[in-house]
């Protein structure tokens, strides 16, 4: 047995132990930094649950509704709602023509033109 290598296993164990200690310190530091950082939440990234709007319309001088956006789209396709139909939804201060409400006006653009 060579005297220069007699402590090799001990040196390797010390190197391994020191490497583990350094790695452990790195993990602890990373965990501390992550714990102090601002974590995104659903509110921070804009994924809040939004309740669909309910619309009310005046057809033949009669208030009707509530209707979903899909219902409104179907009424537009069947010409029961025109650009001059009065529409209201929660949050509006007064009734407005459907063509003046952006979320309803966009539905008219989906209607195919007549022959």
44 is a domain residue: no
Asked whether 112 and 79 are in contact (CB, 8 A), the reply is no
More confident residue, 25 or 39: 25
User: What are the tokens at 81?
Assistant: 């709602």
Condensed to tens digits (0 to 9), the pLDDT of residues 3-13 reads 555 556 777 77
| Same domain for 59 and 22 | no
Show the beta-strand stretches assigned E in 55-110: 55-59, 62-67, 86-89, 96-97
Q: How far is CA 107 from CA 22, 29, 49, 70, 83, in A?
A: 62, 54, 23, 9, 10
113 is a domain residue: no
80 is a domain residue: yes
| Same domain for 29 and 59 | no
CATH code (residue 89): 3.30.1490
| Same domain for 66 and 103 | yes
| Same domain for 104 and 59 | yes
Asked whether 110 and 73 are in contact (CB, 8 A), the reply is yes
Give the structural domain span for 27: 3-36
Number of structural domains, the chain? Answer: 2
Condensed to tens digits (0 to 9), the pLDDT of residues 87-107 reads 999 999 999 999 999 999 999
């Amino acid at each position: 047995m060579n005297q220069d290598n007699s402590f090799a296993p001990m040196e390797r164990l010390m190197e391994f132990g020191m490497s583990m200690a350094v790695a452990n310190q790195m993990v602890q530091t990373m965990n501390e930094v992550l714990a102090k950082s601002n974590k995104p939440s659903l509110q921070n990234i804009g994924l809040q649950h939004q309740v669909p709007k309910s619309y009310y319309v005046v057809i033949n001088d009669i208030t009707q509704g509530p209707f979903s956006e899909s219902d409104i789209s179907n009424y537009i396709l069947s010409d029961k709602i025109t650009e001059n139909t009065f529409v209201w939804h929660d949050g509006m201060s007064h009734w407005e023509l459907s063509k003046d409400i952006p979320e309803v006006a966009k539905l008219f653009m989906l209607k195919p033109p007549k022959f």
